[in-house]
Structure 1
Amino acid sequence: MTASLPEYQSREQSGGIRCIFVGKYRNKHGLLKMKNRLGQIAKLDNLVVAATLLSASGLANANPAPNKEFYPLIELTVTRLDVARDVALTKWDTRKSVEDLEREKQVISTAALESSAVGVPEGFARDFFSDQIEANKLVQYGLMAQWHRDGKAPTSPRASLKDQIRPKLDKLQTAFIQQLASTEALRSKPECAAQLYAATSGYGSERRLSALYSIALDRALARVCVS
């Protein structure tokens, strides 16, 4: 009984395996047709690979390279976000709320006044430092949620909120204001948002920021570009 589809048999010969085609591709004409078909498939595969590589190249070129002029501002932001861990530990121990509206209002008002003194618009400064505070709280909530799941907070040494944490935040605030003043032209460019996105993405990849810190970084710099 002749098979309707190609059948394959294998036979050991001289330590190797030789495939014998039986059925449709048994004769010479059938083998030639098969060879031509395989050649067509190979050409199609090459075209698909070439198109894929061209498409990938186009996507890579569409994404702007990170503008590292933003890196000092990003670095300051990440440093401030790192302080959130110390703040969260303090509030965890004292069972205080993450949100402290009176303190936040005081920080924003002081920052706005200091910013206006060096030419940074007061309204912009209020928005910027408000975003920084919200991002900091985002990290605190994220960390404390993890500690609740773990049933405990880390046992690492605690920093003093009054003597260590707040003085550090005050120094960062001064550095932020200087950066805002020196990057006004950069932040006023039409392509600021695209360049900032590329810079934060590049920085996050280089430093291997966690998902929590990457989201907080975007939140902290949400309104840094001058619209």
Structure 2
Amino acid sequence: MTSSSAAPLPRGAKTRAPKVLASLQTLYPDAACELDFRTPFELLVATVLSAQATDVSVNAATPALFAAYPDAFALAQAEPQDIEPYIRRIGLYRAKAKNLVGLAKKLVELHDGQVPNDFDAVVALPGAGRKTANVVLSNAYGYPAIAVDTHVGRLARRLALSVQTNPDRVEADLESLFPKDRWVFLHHGLILHGRRVCFARRPDCPACLMNTFCPKVGVEYAEG
């Protein structure tokens, strides 16, 4: 859990939060991670690849990548240039190839090739960070977490659940507003709503189930 926010919660956030959660549960009752994976290692790799890239592009690339490098031991033997052809269509592929080889070597050296069920240990891996650790630990090991990506941050501000722009502080605000056992669902539900209705530019407010209580309904946006 993150430290407390530097700014207070927006007015009415505590009243709005249960309505947001109820709406998401109605709209996306089966919301889950949209990255394709079978093991914690595959989820870790896919999550690192998903930074500044779509899940669709990652899911298109990982089957061949995982067939060639099914675990950390295999990937640790590769060179970044060996990985690049598999992920060339994903943004920042050269840096990501280097990070993937680096994290595989760390997994082998420090964790017997396994993805640790430990937040700080995952954060310390090359190419990982707080968001990656939250995604991996919540989806692979059931760790209660809210991973704040661009969708989650954008919707948190639009729904006036947070005024923060720093992802860690947005995370802290959301954690304070929602039940711990719903954090993982909230993360996935907000992402789906951001992808399907509350778009970065021109959100579809008339089609939104939250338009009766969203404080930003009808406002034109130009947010990334």
Q: Point out the structure with max Rg over C-alpha.
A: 1
Q: Which has the higher helix share?
A: 1
Decide which structure has greater strand share: 1
Output the TM-score relative to the length of structure 1. Answer: 0.23
TM value normalised by structure 2: 0.23
